[in-house]
Amino acid sequence: MTASVRIGRRVALTSMFVSAALAAAKITVGLKANSTAAVSDGIESAGDILASGLVLFGLIMASKPPDAEHPYGHGRLETISGLGVGMFLAAMGVLISAESLRRAAQTDTPPQFFAVWPLAASIVVKTIMFISKRHFGRRLESSGLIADAWNDAMDTLSGTVALLGVGLAVLNPATFRSADDWGGFGVGIVIVVLALRIVRDTTFQLMDTMPDQSRMQQIRAVALTVPGALGIEKCFARKTGLQYHVDLHLEVDPAMSVLSSHEIATDVRFKIKEKLPWVADVLVHVEPHMLATIADRQHGKS
């Protein structure tokens, strides 16, 4: 197991334990305080346990080495885990919103004030978790971990919405008797919006969307530092889990031998992997350098 996977595993496991504690606190207090918003936010935190579990599974599976049936490795499982997080959150958000609307249509007693404490604690804890997961997600190039980080960010927002609903219902129950239920509805909407964003981002990766231009320029720049590399005709990259696989069309002197051009291509491959740790492997296609070819033709005519 690589260092990256070990770090991701520790982050995911910590998140699962924290989410379990927060879920238990919010659901227990929410039921005793008659707060739909607190219970809804607690259910969302319980869902985070499964979400973090999916991320953990994806990280572990992504670290498996390539084999005969999976020559590009198992990294796509990490991206699929991020997609699974998004789809799960979308379903949960819809259910929470529907149940909150049902309760809002009924005449219930307002929640009690002590329902605000687990919500306030959740906002603080989830903010810290969001910052930590986003940091490690970007560092490890983990789609699943980044998706889980945005899940925590939305937890902070949903907790704020829930806290606002509980606060209004407690402070002025005559006017805002249903504010707590509408707060639960708001929690569900926030979750759905987050889920759609995660599904969009992970779908783009599964469709082999190219990385940003700055990374493509880094690949080209490193390749051209190798002696004998005269130009780059084409360069493509696709993400497979935590790293990228690169297809590169390298231009060399058309007059050189196949062996010499192969050695240059090999040097380019290893140079890119050495300088850019986010690249898993490089497939180099050797092409004749166009300017050199034209010059040879003109020289032959003369």
Q: Give the span between the Cα atoms of 259 and 257, in whole angstroms.
A: 5
Domain boundary among 159, 188, 206: 206
Give the per-residue pLDDT at 272: 95
pLDDT at 259 over 60: yes
Is residue 146 domain-shared with residue 239, that is, in the same domain?
A: no
Both 143 and 219 in a single domain?
no
249 beta partners: 234, 285
pLDDT at 107: 57
Domain that holds residue 177: 3-206
Residues 37 and 61 in one domain: yes
Domain identity same for 61 and 196: yes
CA 176-127-58 angle, to 5 degrees, is 115
Last residue of a domain, one of 206, 224, 240: 206
Question: Which band of pLDDT confidence, cut at 50, 70 and 90, is reported for residue 171?
Answer: confident
pTM beyond 0.85: no
**Cβ proximity of 133 and 155 under 8 Å:** no
239 and 97 share a domain?
A: no
Q: What is the pLDDT of residue 102?
A: 80
CATH of residue 274's domain is 3.30.70.1350
CA distances from 30 to 10, 26, 73, 153 (A): 30, 6, 45, 21
From 111, 93, 112, 119, select the one nearest 181 (Cα to Cα).
111
pLDDT at 1 over 70: no
63 and 144 inside one domain: yes
Q: How many domains is the chain partitioned into structurally?
A: 2
Using an 8 Å Cβ cutoff, are 183 and 36 in contact?
yes
